[in-house]
Amino acid sequence: MADDIPAGRVMVALGGNAISPPGEASTAEAEQETVAKAMVAIADLIVDGWRLVLTHGNGPQVGQLMVQNEMASAFVPPMPLHFCVAQTQATIGFAICNTLEYHLAQRGSDLSVVPIVSRVLVDADDPDWDDPSKPIGSYLSDEVEARRRMERTGQVWKSFGDKGWRRVVPSPEPKALLDGYTLGMLLEAGAVVVVNGGGGIPMVRRDGQLQGVEAVVDKDLSAALVANRIGAAELVILTDVQGVALHYGTPRQEWLGEVAVADLRRLHAEGHFAAGSMGPKVEAACRFVEQSGGTAVIAALDDIGDAVRGRTGTRIRP
C-alpha cells in the first residue's frame, strides 16, 4: 500500500501478547507503559489524517485473571470466563483511552477516545464447543495436577509437549457484532473507538435472550468481522513478531513481504502457520482481503506507523 491515506477507515488490532510480551512482568504498570508507547504512534497517525478504529487482544490478561480466580476460590466465588473478558476489555480500553487522549491533546487534537465494552454473537452449535482449542492461563508441568483439575472442575486441559499442560476453552467463530449501532454512532460523531477487545464478549441467543458463555473469541477473526462491517480499507494486525514467516523458528525461516491472498491461502493449507499462533492472524487477514478487496498487514507492534503506511510487515493484497 502506498503512503496515500485511504478513503476508508483502517482497523488496527493490537495483540494481547504484544501488550504483555511473554516472559515479561505482567503488571498494570508494565502494560500501561507498553500501551502508552503504542499510542504515541497511533496519535501521530490520527493527526496525520488516518481514520483509525482500534481493537486489542487480551489472552495474557484473561489468563492472569483465571489464575487469580483459582488461587482465591476458597475465599471468593470465581467469575465466569465471559466476565473476565469484559473486565479485561474495560481495563485495557481504559489504558488506551487515557494515554491516547493525552497524546492527541499534545498534538492539538481534542478528539474523544471511546472504549466500548462490546459483545459478539457466536453459534451455540459451533463445533469448538465439543473440541476446545483456545489455550488460556499458565502451563502446568505436572500431568497429575492437570488431570486432578479436570476431574474437580470439569475443565479441559491438553498436553503441549515439553511446555507442559494448559487449560483450553472453546473458541467459537464470531458471527455478528452486537454493538454495531453504537459503534456507527460514535464513528459518525468523529470519535476514535476501541471496540471488541479480546474478540468481544461471547454471547449466544437462547429463547430470544442473549447469554454470556464460557468461551474466548479469536481477536483477529473478530477484527476482520468489524473491519468489514465498517467498510475499512485496511486491516492491520499487530503482534510480537515482524510479520508472517515460512518455516518459523528454523534455519530455513523466511519472512514474507507482499503476498497475494491466494498464495497465502495455499501456504496456510500446506500447514505453514500454527493454529495456536500465526494461523488465526493469517485466516483473518485472508478473510478481510477476500471479502473487502482491501489490504491486510501483519506486523510488529513497535512498527505501527510503518505498518499502517504499508512500509513493513507482511502485506496481503487481493
Write out the catalytic residue numbers: 16-17, 134, 219, 281
Is the pTM higher than 0.85? The answer reads yes
Do 150 and 156 form a contact (C-beta atoms < 8 A)? yes
State the pLDDT at residue 18: 64
* pLDDT for residue 22: 61
**Residue 237 contacts residue 286 (beta carbons within 8 Å):** no
**Residue 70 pLDDT:** 80
Q: Which residues of the chain have pLDDT under 70?
A: 1-4, 6-7, 17-18, 21-25
Cα 42 from Cα 154, distance rounded (Å) = 42
CB 13 within 8 A of CB 236: yes
One-letter amino acid at 34 equals T
Q: Specify the 3-state DSSP secondary structure of 180.
A: helix
Cβ contact 222:55 at 8 Å: yes
C-alpha 97/C-alpha 79 separation (Å) is 25
Q: Give the pLDDT of residue 23.
A: 59
Q: State how far the Cα of 107 lies from the Cα of 104, in Å rounded to an integer.
A: 5
Which sequence spans correspond to the domains of the chain?
10-133+170-317
CB-based contact 12:43 (threshold 8 Å): no
In this structure, whether the domain defined by 10-133+170-317 belongs to CATH 2.40.160.20 is answered with: no
Backbone angles phi, psi at 310, to 5 degrees: 80, 25
Specify the DSSP element, H or E, that contains 290.
Answer: helix 278-292
Tell me how far apart the terminal alpha carbons of the chain are, to the nearest angstrom. Answer: 12
Q: Identify whether the C-beta of residue 24 lies closer than 8 Å to the C-beta of residue 251.
A: no
User: What is the reported pLDDT for 280?
Assistant: 92
Q: Estimate to the nearest angstrom the gap between the alpha carbon of 97 and the chain centroid.
A: 17
Q: What is the pLDDT of residue 122?
A: 97
- Reported as type and span, the H/E element at residue 82 is helix 81-106
